[in-house]
Amino acid sequence: MADYVQQVRQAFGPNRRNLAVAALVVAILVVSHVVVPHWSTRYAAYLIVFCIWMWWFVERVAGLLEYETE
């Protein structure tokens, strides 16, 4: 059980990839709200951020499930 907890902390912790994804999302939101403040730009930014978040989350969960089946 402790090994699984360590794996979860490693997957969702502040590593280089997670921080890079967070920085990308923040940059997209800043551009959409400050640089080009139009409703359609914000909507597109929200869709892009949602896609990035789903990709990141599914990749992380798939890695955990793969670890559990071994």
* 8 Å CB contact between 17 and 52: no
What's the whole-model pTM score? 0.72
Quote the pLDDT of residue 17.
84
* 8 Å CB contact between 32 and 45: yes
Of the candidates 57, 11, 56, the one whose C-alpha atom is nearest the C-alpha of residue 3 is 11
> Token pair of 54, please?
């789903």
Residue 68 neighbours by CB under 8 Å, 6+ apart:
4
- Over the chain (70 residues), what is each successive 10-residue block's mean pLDDT? 70 82 94 93 96 88 63
Of the candidates 58, 36, 54, 56, the one whose C-alpha atom is nearest the C-alpha of residue 45 is 36
The dihedrals phi and psi of 69, each to the nearest 5 degrees, come to -80, -15
Quote the pLDDT of residue 42.
94
